[in-house]
Amino acid sequence: MCGIIAYKGNKNSTNIILNGLKILEYRGYDSWGVASKNDKIHIFKEIGKIGEINKINLPNAKIAIGHTRWATTGSITKENAHPHLSCDNKIAVVHNGIIENYEELKKNLKNHRFVSETDTEIIPHLIEENINLGLFEAVKKVANLLEGRSAFIVISEYSDDLIAVRKGAPLILGISNDEYFIASDIPAFLDYTKNVNYLDDNEMVVIKDNPTFFNFETGDEIKKRIITIEWDKEQARKGRYDHYLIKEIMEQKETINRAINQDESEIQKIANEINNAFGTFFVGCGTAGKVCHAGEYLYSKIAKKHINFVVASEFSNYKHFLTDKTLMIAVSQSGETADTIEAIETAKKQNVKVISLINVKGSSINQKSDYSLLINAGPEKAVASTKAATSQLALLLLLAYASANRLKEGKLLLIETAGMINDMLNLRYEEHIKRLAERIYENEHLYIIGKAANYPMALECAIKIQEISYMHAEGFAAGELKHGPIALIEKSTPCIILVANDETKKDVLVNAQELKTRGAYTIGISPEYNKIFDYWIKVPDAGDASPIVNIIPIQILSYHLALLRKHDPDLPRNLAKSVTVK
């Protein structure tokens, strides 16, 4: 969940690192720091946000490392911020992940002085303990000692080498002439290069004049292929928008079309795998989990096929059902979600085939999958997922149609839906939703109901409102109201009703009337007006694609609720974009 960036080249490294850390802010953090090296290692650390800082008090250097920390082990203090140093102050380390055996390792470092509460600090001390082997061998030995998913980068006064290690957490090498960048995410160096090498698990890279890759378990050298990233650096910038979140919401005018612009034979191939599997699981976390849940409904309705949805963190409890005929469809924007990776590893132990829907080529989930489909949403930098979620929904919907041998029909529906979204996302529409936000932002409770595939979207609406505005929001299956939740409704309680123009419409409107009768302020998200609604937000009549169009107004509403409640919509508290730790 932490952000890492390193640089070795001929420019002022501290400026490059500072800019990279600002770009990595979207990953979520509570403190940050930089270490640069000329003859000596120099450190700068701070608590809080980088903000408008444009220069830090470090000497010019050609090699540096930087870090944004999201606290896991140890509280939020300067001492716990990265980089961390060895006792002799000659080795500096930044680290992402959790070292599961750090207490055991720390007990063996009896002659070392620790200044932080973190698990990370044992890394520079362990390297120092073995530095007589040389920096490379010392780092290799330490990499083999650590348990758990992690990644770390080392600079030292013992060598001019820049060394990075991947053991389950993401690291990517960017290459530009005689300059090298290492980061946990591509946008950190996208201003400088699109040429990358992905480190795989149990690999390390040593950068002297050129990078050399090794398997740190065997010591074998590895040859890597340079890959050119297709992302445009302008996609990773806010442009004319005040925040990444609203920019990414508005980009859904294009991203649905990009998601379904796939090789039809490949879509049909995956659909056939689903049809032929003896048990298929849709697996994801958070928003991706709600997408998977909706996919379960879509497959039932369109393909007449039962799919099992499981939250990734719970998947290990289903391992007793898995066979070599089982199929897993893993969904993740980043491709680095720790719980989803663990679910994949559980599946692989039972010889389950894994297909993933991801947004980041070369990510851990991409590498662990038998086959991957890219959703092609482009960089998503706001912590709250928007365009990636609707792109994932579009692909699952397309697969459902392909499983029913109606691929062209599904593609036409989604092309038409994308066109309607393009018409819908305009300034007047946003202003209409902003007026609703102004009416309800002082409320502390808000409820959302939906039915069929719009029930998981009600849950997703609640996630969006919770994480961005910090309002208490809950989503319910519409028919469950009378089984308990309706007791929460009192006069003027805002209640959002997700309506599709299908066989569920009548039942959902009946439930909406029950809310209104008990004093709720009813907000309809629907293709058609109904007198039950106190406030109506029109959405296109998109048929089976209604979950896609119904979630978008709530994304906009969440954004404006956050602004009115004076919260940062891009960086909600306590959250990170890519949850790379359990």
Catalytically active residues are: 2, 577
Of the candidates 432, 457, 462, 433, the one whose C-alpha atom is nearest the C-alpha of residue 445 is 462
Q: Are 25 and 50 in contact (CB under 8 A)?
A: yes
The residue among 299, 8, 44 whose CA lies nearest residue 182 is 8
| Strand (E) or helix (H) holding 561 | helix 546-564
User: Would you mind telling me the total number of residues written for the chain in this entry?
Assistant: 582
Structure tokens at 474: 């809950």
CA dihedral 500, 505, 507, 508 (to 10 degrees): 40
Question: Is residue 509 within 8 Å of residue 501, measured between CB atoms?
Answer: no
Measured distance CA(66)–CA(73) in Å, rounded: 19
Burial 376-396 (b: 16+ CB within 10 A, else e): bbbbbbbbbbbbbbbbbbbbb
Nearest residue to 512 via CA among 534, 528, 490, 491: 534
The 3-state secondary structure of 241-278 reads: CCCHHHHHHHCHHHHHHHHHCCCHHHHHHHHHHHHHCC
How does strand 472-477 pair with strand 445-450? parallel
Q: Name the one residue in this structure whose structure tokens are 């470092």.
A: 109
Burial class (CB in 10 A: 0-12, 13-18, 19+), 423: exposed
Long-range contacts of 244-248 (CB under 8 A, 24+ apart): 244/26, 244/381, 244/382, 244/570, 245/382, 245/384, 245/386, 245/468, 245/555, 245/559, 245/569, 245/570, 246/556, 246/559, 246/569, 248/380, 248/381, 248/382, 248/386, 248/387
Instruction: State which amino acid sits at residue 252.
Output: Q
Would you list the DSSP string of 209-220? SSEEEEETTT--
How many Cβ atoms sit within 10 Å of the Cβ of residue 191? 14
Distance separating alpha carbons of residues 509 and 533, to the nearest angstrom = 9
Do 281 and 309 form a contact (C-beta atoms < 8 A)?
A: yes
- The amino acid sitting at 542 is A
Cβ contacts of residue 378 below 8 Å, gap of 6+? 231, 232, 235, 236, 251, 255, 258, 359, 387
Q: Which of 420, 522, 444 is nearest to 481 (CA)?
A: 522
Q: How far is CA 337 from CA 71, 163, 342, 360, 392, in A?
A: 17, 24, 9, 12, 15
The Cα–Cα gap between 415 and 502 comes to: 20
Kindly give the pairing relationship between strand 521-526 and strand 535-538. Answer: parallel
